[in-house]
Chain A
């Protein structure tokens, strides 16, 4: 396995809105030196509470926010370095994003076919090949378990789960090697969450994808991920390389998070832990 994505010492800060002085320049540190790596074909969970900087990390990794310090290498190339146009385009379609809020992640004026078509257009530009868009849209819809007839629908005519599947199809359309799932299932109800996670697991096997799974929900992490990092206050506080040993974590914050989710079950060791976890998901 080779390392697909590597982030080294990422720092991001934002200017504070409530300055104490006129023309003040106080800044809020959001990410304080994050380093992580993603191997080919694995699923890395990033977990943390609201405000821990995980979504900001997502933006940095997807190339939307240049960090003040630190480097991100995607398949050996620096994401924020200087590139020729062609290189930049090739980098762009390595990684794709699925957002949490499905209502705002698609243009309400686009039909499903245009939503997916936009990704296909970007891919055409990046690779220079011609794509039969209509056929490809139908294929992608089928891949995420939606009927072909959905292509002419508008986003408000779909349910949350269906729309999130469209978003996954759109993310798949650019043939990425990594998909960043930014709270992608958190706003869905429990049964739909399981369906979408099953879909994600199946797609990962089928297309040998890597996932970066950002969430605040530990159960979905244990269901899908191979490794997990805990984030708090813009720092990585704990890293678990084997998901089955999640109960053995030591840092107080991660421990607290785990206990909050698992209730009283977690002090009995990992075996039982896993069992109760599966019961919860099912």
Chain B
């Protein structure tokens, strides 16, 4: 299951783990990603709060957490090669979160609802 925030972050859910990244639409709008400012493993993130930022040539955009929980992994490949986000934003998630409140997923947009905010 993949769900979205209207600010273009996704949470791809497997069990109580959420892979969090940005949508293909957002990646295309940003253009060349040059840096991803990620939290550290062990940090807590809170649904709706910023947990980092993604920088394209043009601008910096805050990243918002779709769900609350602990960061159990960051995508270290993005440190040396942030452009992976442009190449395949769904495969190249940014952080992996162990969810503390999976009920928050009900508040997120499904594919269809998210598609309607992209235009």
A and B bound?
Answer: no
Binding site for A on B (CB under 8 A): none
